Amino acid sequence: MKKYFSGKNFTLYNGDCIEILNQLSANSINMIFADPPYFLSNGSFTCHAGRRVSVKKGDWDLGDGAQKNLEFHIEWLKACKRVLKPNGTIWVSGTYHSIYQCGVALEINGYHFLNDVVWFKPNAAPNLSCRFFYCKS
């Protein structure tokens, strides 16, 4: 397992999370911050620098249907649960495209929810498709 960066009190690894987690000892990690794929690469579009652009990030962000996506979240969260210390914590970043499946996968894996943190992003991409609620300020 190759370290990407080591600091005074932490280490970052870059690679397939399940492969890396499987190499770590059980109950050895204090905190995990995860930003799993949102499965947004579906032929849709967004705005970048004032231009309409594809949202395809790469093959890693292609969804495989609701059931397969949920199974993916269950698998990586199970691997995280194995390495977290009993008093460890996990923070999972997501969008409404994926976070609800992550929530179900967290429940299936026996995690205990303490908080939801919502980020108000005033500089978010504009609602180009005109299909979403928005707040005009």
Q: Over the stretch 21-68, which tens digit does the pLDDT of each residue have?
A: 999 999 999 999 999 988 776 767 777 777 777 776 766 666 778 899
Residue with tokens 């005074």: 8
Mean pLDDT confidence for 9-19? 89
pLDDT(82) > 70: yes
Collapse the DSSP code of 31 into the 3-class scheme (helix H, G, I; strand E, B; otherwise coil) and give the result: strand
pLDDT(85) > 70: yes
Query: Alpha-carbon torsion 49, 52, 55, 56, what sign?
Result: negative
The predicted pLDDT at position 52 comes to 78
pLDDT band at 12 (very low <50, low <70, confident <90, very high): confident
> Which one-letter amino acid corresponds to residue 32?
I
Q: Which residue has the higher pLDDT, 28 or 127?
A: 28
pLDDT band at 119 (very low <50, low <70, confident <90, very high): confident
Q: Which domains does the chain have, with CATH numbers?
A: 3-108 (3.40.50.150)
Q: Which residue has the higher pLDDT, 97 or 19?
A: 19
DSSP for 79-135 reads HHHHHEEEEEEEEE---TTTHHHHHHHHHHTT-----------TTPPP-TTS-S---
The predicted pLDDT at position 22 comes to 95
